[in-house]
């Protein structure tokens, strides 16, 4: 008889052998203390500093967000009570969607319980219902986008990361009469690089392609009013559908898509992942709404984030510690080995109280393991300097390779 438990035990053992087994650090975020947190188990709670949070601007701790959530709980209770179609469509959901549509200059928006479900649901519908549709997807697109494209059943072509020339080759080799959808991200979180958005928008126009732009690592942090990387580059309105998250710059939870009203209505009407799931708790929607409104008015947090990221990138560059890219606010520090990546992260935590999660396969290819570091406006300059110094010391003790700066010409 087949032993199911033994089978899955062997699967986990093999995952550990390959260095891909994930461990979770139990931490307790404390309101008003970000980026400090308490680490639980083993032993008593210990104060640590978090350097890998997706709460990029610290809005998850902002007084306006917390007060809005408390008010919503007092008014509406904890849960939403159902799916959007069956009693779960609160005034907070509707107001949030209106605000997001306005942020992106779109006719409509639709919110989901997570950014993953937003991508999966929207791409399943948009790619799957186009007759004979063909999807062109960047090779480093997020797993949620890949899942949605796969679930759509549409023909798919993968273009090399940020390679617009390769994308054009694929577009040119496709029947001009077929509907085409280009799916990409603006900022790629593991690389911290930016897509060639202007060129891709031009190609979409030239080849009659529909565009789907994932701005989850850009909304709130780039562009006028935090509308994203495309608006920052003067490309507002050049992409048909924008997908974003409420869980990163906006500090809450959930995801959304924004675009032309008939397109968003199609997602609302045909996406099983939207129709058959409980809606966001009203308090979460209220908190996200407060964050979106605040970041539309305030550039202070964005400016501080740019300054902190630039400071850390410069310090690491001086030390010769290899950073994958410095185009965006995320600082991916290349280690290149799964075991050593875990060892560096462990020493940062145990010796210095600095928490950075090691990123190994399958999130990144084998041999490109890294620390995905996210400085925030709440990290002081002294803390940034201390982080760079601690990492430099670990790099020296571990005898990890350094990147030598090129000599100045002349």
Q: Cite the active site residues.
A: 248
State the Cα–Cα distance between residues 346 and 312, nearest whole angstrom: 20
376, 359 in Cβ contact below 8 A?
A: no
Give the strand pairing for 331-334 and 255-259: unpaired
370, 192 in Cβ contact below 8 A?
A: no
DSSP 297-326: H--HHHHHHHHHHHHHHHHHHHHT--BS--
State the Cα–Cα distance between residues 138 and 160, nearest whole angstrom: 6
Instruction: Assign 182 to helix, strand or coil.
Output: strand
State the Cα–Cα distance between residues 349 and 161, nearest whole angstrom: 33
- R_g of the chain computed on alpha carbons: 22
DSSP 86-121: TT---HHHHHHHHHHHHHTT-SEEEEES-HHHHHHH
Cα-based angle 350, 353, 319 (whole degrees, multiple of 5) = 95
How would you class 354 by CB atoms within 10 Å of its CB: exposed for 0-12, middle for 13-18, buried for 19 or more?
buried
Strand (E) or helix (H) holding 386:
helix 381-398
**Plot region of 409 (φ>0 → left; ψ -120 to 50 → alpha; else → beta):** beta
């Amino acid at each position: 008889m087949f032993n199911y438990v033994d089978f899955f035990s062997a699967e986990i053992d093999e995952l550990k052998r390959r260095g891909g087994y994930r461990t979770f650090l139990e931490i307790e975020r404390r309101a008003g203390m970000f980026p400090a947190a308490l680490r639980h188990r083993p032993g008593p709670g210990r104060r640590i500093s978090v350097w890998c949070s997706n709460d990029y601007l610290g809005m998850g701790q902002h007084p306006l967000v917390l007060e809005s959530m408390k008010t919503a709980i007092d008014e509406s209770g904890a849960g939403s009570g159902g799916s959007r179609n069956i009693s779960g469509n609160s005034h907070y959901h509707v107001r949030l969607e209106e605000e997001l549509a306005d942020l992106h200059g779109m006719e409509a928006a639709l919110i989901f319980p997570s950014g993953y479900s937003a991508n999966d649901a929207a791409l399943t519908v948009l790619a799957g219902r186009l007759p004979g549709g063909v999807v062109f997807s960047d090779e480093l697109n997020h797993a949620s986008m890949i899942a949605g494209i796969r679930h759509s059943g549409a023909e798919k072509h993968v273009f090399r990361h940020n390679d617009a020339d390769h994308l054009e080759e694929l577009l040119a080799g496709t029947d001009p009469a077929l509907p085409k959808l280009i799916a990409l991200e603006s900022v790629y979180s593991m690389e911290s690089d930016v897509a060639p958005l202007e060129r891709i928008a031009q190609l979409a126009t030239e080849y009659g392609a529909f565009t789907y732009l994932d701005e989850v690592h850009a909304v709130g942090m780039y562009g006028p009013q935090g509308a994203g990387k495309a608006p920052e580059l003067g490309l507002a309105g050049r992409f048909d559908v924008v997908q974003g998250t409420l869980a990163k710059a906006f500090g809450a939870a959930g995801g959304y898509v924004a675009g032309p009203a008939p397109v968003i209505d199609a997602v609302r009407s045909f996406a099983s992942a939207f129709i058959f799931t409980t809606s966001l708790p009203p308090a979460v929607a209220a908190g996200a709404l407060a964050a979106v409104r605040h970041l539309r008015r305030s550039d202070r947090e964005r400016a501080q984030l740019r300054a902190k990221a630039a400071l850390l990138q410069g310090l690491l560059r001086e030390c010769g510690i290899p950073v994958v890219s410095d185009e965006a606010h995320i600082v991916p520090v290349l280690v290149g080995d799964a075991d050593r990546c875990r060892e560096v992260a462990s020493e940062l935590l145990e010796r210095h109280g600095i928490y950075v999660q090691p990123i190994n396969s399958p999130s990144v290819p084998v041999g490109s393991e890294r620390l995905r570091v996210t400085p925030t406006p709440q990290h002081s300059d002294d803390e940034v300097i201390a982080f760079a110094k601690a990492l430099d010391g670990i790099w020296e003790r571990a005898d990890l390779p350094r990147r030598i700066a090129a000599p100045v010409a002349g």
